[in-house]
Amino acid sequence: MGKLGTTEIIILAIVLFLIFKIFRKNRKLEQEAPMSIEKEKMEDVIVNIPDVCPHCKNPNTKKTRLCEWCGNQII
């Protein structure tokens, strides 16, 4: 009764492997969840970049947040 046979060892190895896979899958889902929430928040924010710099009134041809003429932040 104290000895484990080959079939018991194989069954034990399979059960441990399945438990390991389940925990690993749950861990990956927990790590991916915050990223999906951040992506949803980023999609909700719409940034309207003006065509003209509010400081120097020069055109913003590259549609960037920094003015290419005066260097100030546009937004």
Per-position pLDDT tens, the chain of length 75: 467 788 999 999 999 999 998 888 777 666 665 655 555 565 666 778 889 999 899 999 888 889 988 999 887
Task: Work out the mean pLDDT of the chain and round it to a whole number.
Answer: 80
Instruction: Give per-residue pLDDT as tens, 29-40.
Output: 666 656 555 555
d(CA 58, CA 75): 15
User: What size, in residues, is the chain?
Assistant: 75
